[in-house]
Amino acid sequence: MTLPATLAEWLEYIERQHPQAIALGLERVDVVRDRLALRPAFPIITVGGTNGKGSACMMLDAMLDHAGYRVATYTSPHLLRYNERVRLAGHEATDADLVRGFAAVEQARAASGVPLTYFEFGTLAAMWLFCECKVDVAVLEVGLGGRLDAVNAFDADVALLMSIGLDHTEYLGATREAIGAEKAQIFRPGRPAICADAAPPATVIEHATRIGAQLLLIGRDFDYESQPLQWRYRGPGGDRHGLPQPALRGHCQLANASACITALDTLRERLPVTAADIRSGLVRVENPGRFQVLPGRPAVILDVAHNPHAAAALATNLVQMTGYRNTLAVFSMLKDKDVVGVARALRGHIDHWLVAPVEGARAMPVALLEQCLREAGVTAPITTCANIAEACDRAYQMAGDGDRILAFGSFLVVAAAMAAVQTRRIS
């Protein structure tokens, strides 16, 4: 059989390799990993949790990159290009890099006779590339849960658990305790296990204690203090004063940054990072789609918040971002998400909702979106649109210079809104 030649062809190919989009379990991944002889010689920082994972990964990437290390970072999902998921030395992986990685994985997969999901295939390809490039350190974002996620096929030298909220309950359980038990499985015996959730489920602490991980809790073992124009960190490596506010917006970013500094402190014997490296990383970090405010009038805010925990954080950020008259929301969610819970968290902060379905089989019909908003107690006007691009156009037509447009609810919403805004500015 002739293998795909381009990245686009490979992405179509790997999407067809498994009948299910999500099939949790490490057995198949372990088989292909071992056939590829993937034995990373570099430290691995694994980042899990419900929210805050992407921000933490990009902070670590920025700090370590400024320290002069060849950093590899694997995140998901992407917004506009698959290449966003795989970063090498501060840059997205090229199409050629990814094609080589996919080809190596397919050769091993075909020889072993096991199917792989899209995410499993991509995870193994990224790690193959990282090993081939002999990177100094890898930062890996867990895709879903922890225990059975493909990223967990690789032992973390340091594991970060950013937050525990209700999401993917059909796979991880219906309570924070159940979800925490799944996510804590990225911890390893005798190695640092950092938790940035201020009120972690007991299952997280119990698992760390049971396996003998070096548990570091925010508020107990490390912490932060916000100050005017700067902030202060306290942790196992000592105190750091006069730190700049992270370039990433949002009230939760200081907790995220504190967990990242703690992770670097635990690796200081292998990967020394100076205070200047940390400061530079904080001010130059980028993570599109996480309370991202685009320049211009009206202001446009992009946020991938798609669960009640993230929606509550988004509501807090909107309150703190003062000086705007009306907030118009371009909104959609997938049908397996808690739309009512998300809408309930934001109903008092949005003056007009413009709802539209996203693309794909998991899209929630617009009539059901509107029904969920009303069920959540939304009393503001709701306008239905055929797609996200049309909703963005309508929002621009309705908004004045003193208003703001918020596009949120899914990575698919943010990606479509990004494309719509870009098209509008080019035309």
Give the pLDDT score at 165.
87
Number of separate domains in the chain? 2
Residue 230 lies in a domain: yes
Share of the chain above pLDDT 90, in %: 85
Decide: helix, strand or coil at residue 130. Answer: helix
- Predicted pLDDT of residue 27: 93
pLDDT, tens digit (0-9, with 9 covering 90-100), for 81-115: 999 999 999 999 999 999 999 999 999 999 999 99
For 357-418, strand residue ranges (E) read 382-384, 404-408
Q: What Å distances lie between residue 128 and 72, 232, 287, CA to CA?
A: 11, 38, 24
Q: Among residues 284, 301, 317, which one ends one of the domains?
A: 284
Model confidence, pTM: 0.92
Question: What is the pLDDT at residue 296?
Answer: 83
Same domain, 81 and 211: yes
Domain boundaries, position 128: 7-284
In this predicted structure, the answer to whether residue 19 has a pLDDT above a threshold of 70 is: no
304 assigned to some structural domain: yes
CATH code (residue 257): 3.40.1190.10
39, with CB counted inside 10 A (0-12, 13-18, 19+), is exposed
Note whether 304 and 411 are within 8 A (CB): yes
Name the residue with higher pLDDT: 419 or 169. 419
Last residue of a domain, one of 259, 284, 309: 284
Q: Report yes or no on 409 lying in a domain.
A: yes
pLDDT of residue 171: 80
Q: At what angle do helices 176-183 and 202-211 cross, to 10 degrees?
A: 30
Element (H, E) at 11: helix 7-15
Q: Is the peptide bond before 115 cis (omega within 30 degrees of 0)?
A: no
Task: Give the total residue count for the chain.
Answer: 427
Domain identity same for 207 and 258:
yes
Residue 330 phi, psi dihedral angles, 5° rounding: -95, 115
* Average pLDDT over all residues of the chain: 93
pLDDT band per the 50, 70, 90 thresholds, residue 22: low
Determine the Cα–Cα distance for residues 214 and 220; give it in Å rounded to an integer: 13
Determine the average pLDDT of the residues in 212-221. Answer: 98
**C-alpha to C-alpha distance for 71 and 59, rounded to whole angstroms:** 12
- pLDDT reported for residue 124: 98
Burial class (CB in 10 A: 0-12, 13-18, 19+), 276: exposed
**How many CA atoms are closer than 13 Å to the CA of 404, on its beta-carbon side?**
22
Percent of the chain with pLDDT over 70: 98
- 140-193 pLDDT per residue, tens: 999 988 899 999 999 999 999 999 988 777 888 889 999 999 999 999 999 999
